[in-house]
């Protein structure tokens, strides 16, 4: 069995959706293992564009798709996303989509708390998507969660409601808000349960049976390593671990099954929301990258901040996630630049660093050390082999490999599914 784990190796938005979709044709199962509907994966198939937030990207191909226990699950968004994709002609049913019965629910008061905290934080805002992801993870760790399996036992929910309301009602009072309306919450849960429960399964069992059969499993990460709650630019991070090792705990399949770890990396760098960004370009070059790359968040619609490729951060991501190879995306966005820059280190005060220190103040003061390379004037858009690439584009890719100490496995040259150069087949390892 050759499994593949796909993760973002920057701050998310690297193009994971297309790569997962491209790999899904070789997979028997595609698994989401962390995050929630704060993910944004865009797939372009012919003249049809699919935008997914919660559902695994494999669902568009009809591959068995699994939402693991490491995901926080908004059941109302789930219903809406299924309806939207069904309207686009995607067949979704309990035979090709399973949801872990032990996944925690995102509930309306989680979204309320997310919004209230951000509004009250002032200069301390961290730029959440406001979808209740963080508060839902807090309740999971605090052993207060209502989980998918509870939807089948709503008559027995009172003790859990006591626990969760005791916590949230105190927080809501602090923000001048009324307590949770328990009856309305129960009514809402009764209403949504009938839609969700047919999809609820012991996915750990499904995946372990797939392992015994020798099936190929494709793990689909959300966000990126630089948003990992431990290894990212804290506190401007997400609320889950985004590194490859989470694929095991977030799915119920042992760590030996993670397989080939494919890190998705843009040929430049982007970030949505607040937080440090050493190579950010707040000039015409940054604007050009954003316009050519159509850099707007799939989930939030927010304009992405853009900058030069940061080899220091990607090397760090590759190390902490055990990345086997990278998929370099959006190479075509760099077409036509006279000169390209790659960050190879930082100066912070009078010290030089070959990694990004963990403290937010140091990260904010990091000044990039650049290496310059000539650009290329030919087009790389739509290239499907090395022979289609300009010589200088190949040199750029090879230099990135050297600096991040990790080989390139795939190169993506447009949003289209087939515009991909295969260097090393992850499923062949």
Any idea which residues carry the catalytic annotation? Answer: 13, 41
> d(Cα 369, Cα 375) in Å, to the nearest integer?
18
375 within 8 A of 291, measured Cβ to Cβ? no
Ranges of beta strands (E only) in 194-338 are 200-201, 217-220, 260-266, 269-271, 305-307, 309-310, 325-329
Please give the distance of CA 327 from its chain centroid, rounded to a whole number: 15
Nearest C-alpha neighbor of 166 from the set 134, 133, 139: 139
> d(Cα 31, Cα 217) in Å, to the nearest integer?
7
Nearest C-alpha neighbor of 139 from the set 119, 96, 109, 184: 109
| DSSP-assigned letter for residue 407 | -
337 within 8 A of 289, measured Cβ to Cβ? no
DSSP 131-154: SSHHHHHHHHHTT---BGGGGG-G
Cα-Cα-Cα-Cα torsion 204, 209, 212, 213, nearest 10 degrees, comes to: -140
Q: Are strands 339-348 and 367-374 parallel, antiparallel or unpaired?
A: antiparallel
Nearest C-alpha neighbor of 156 from the set 132, 189, 205: 189
> d(Cα 117, Cα 398) in Å, to the nearest integer?
45
Nearest C-alpha neighbor of 164 from the set 136, 131, 192: 136
Q: 183-202 as b/e, with b when 16 or more CB fall inside 10 Å?
A: eebeeebeebbeebbebbbe
């Amino acid at each position: 069995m050759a499994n593949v784990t796909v993760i973002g190796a920057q701050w998310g938005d690297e193009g994971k959706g297309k790569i997962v979709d491209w790999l899904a044709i070789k997979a028997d199962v595609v698994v989401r293992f962390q995050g929630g509907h704060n993910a944004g994966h865009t797939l372009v198939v012919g003249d049809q564009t699919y935008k997914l937030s919660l559902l695994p990207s494999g669902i568009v191909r009809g591959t068995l798709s699994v939402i693991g226990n490491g995901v926080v699950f908004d059941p109302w968004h789930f219903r809406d996303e299924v309806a939207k994709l069904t309207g686009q002609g995607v067949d979704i049913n309990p035979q090709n989509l399973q949801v872990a019965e032990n996944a925690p629910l995102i509930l309306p008061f989680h979204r309320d708390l997310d919004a209230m905290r951000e509004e009250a934080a002032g200069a301390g805002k961290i730029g959440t998507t406001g979808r209740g992801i963080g508060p839902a993870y807090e309740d999971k760790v605090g052993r207060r969660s209502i989980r998918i399996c509870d939807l089948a036992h709503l008559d027995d929910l009172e003790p859990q409601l006591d626990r969760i309301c005791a916590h949230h009602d105190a927080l809501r009072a602090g923000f001048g808000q009324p307590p949770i309306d328990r009856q309305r919450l129960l009514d809402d849960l009764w209403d949504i349960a009938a839609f969700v429960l047919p999809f609820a399964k012991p996915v750990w069992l499904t995946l372990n049976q797939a392992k015994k059969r020798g099936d190929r499993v494709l793990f689909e990460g959300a966000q990126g390593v630089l948003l990992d709650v431990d290894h990212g630019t804290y506190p401007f991070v997400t609320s889950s671990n985004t590194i490859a090792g989470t694929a095991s705990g977030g799915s119920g399949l042992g760590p030996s099954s993670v397989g080939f770890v494919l890190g998705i990396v843009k040929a430049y760098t982007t970030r949505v929301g607040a937080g440090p960004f050493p190579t950010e370009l707040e000039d015409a070059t940054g604007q050009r990258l954003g316009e050519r790359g159509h850099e707007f968040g799939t989930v939030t619609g927010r304009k992405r901040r853009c900058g030069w490729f940061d080899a220091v951060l990607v090397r760090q991501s590759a190390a902490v996630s055990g990345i086997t190879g990278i998929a370099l995306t959006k190479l075509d966005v760099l077409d036509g630049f006279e000169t390209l820059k790659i960050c190879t280190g930082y100066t912070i005060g009078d010290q030089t660093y070959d990694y990004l220190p963990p403290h937010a103040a140091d990260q904010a003061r990091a000044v990039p050390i650049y290496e310059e390379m000539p650009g290329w004037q030919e087009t790389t858009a739509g290239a499907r082999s090395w022979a289609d690439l300009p010589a200088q584009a190949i040199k750029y890719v090879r230099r990135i490999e050297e600096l991040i100490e990790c080989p390139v496995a795939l190169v993506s040259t447009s949003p289209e599914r087939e515009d991909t150069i295969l260097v090393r087949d992850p499923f062949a390892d």
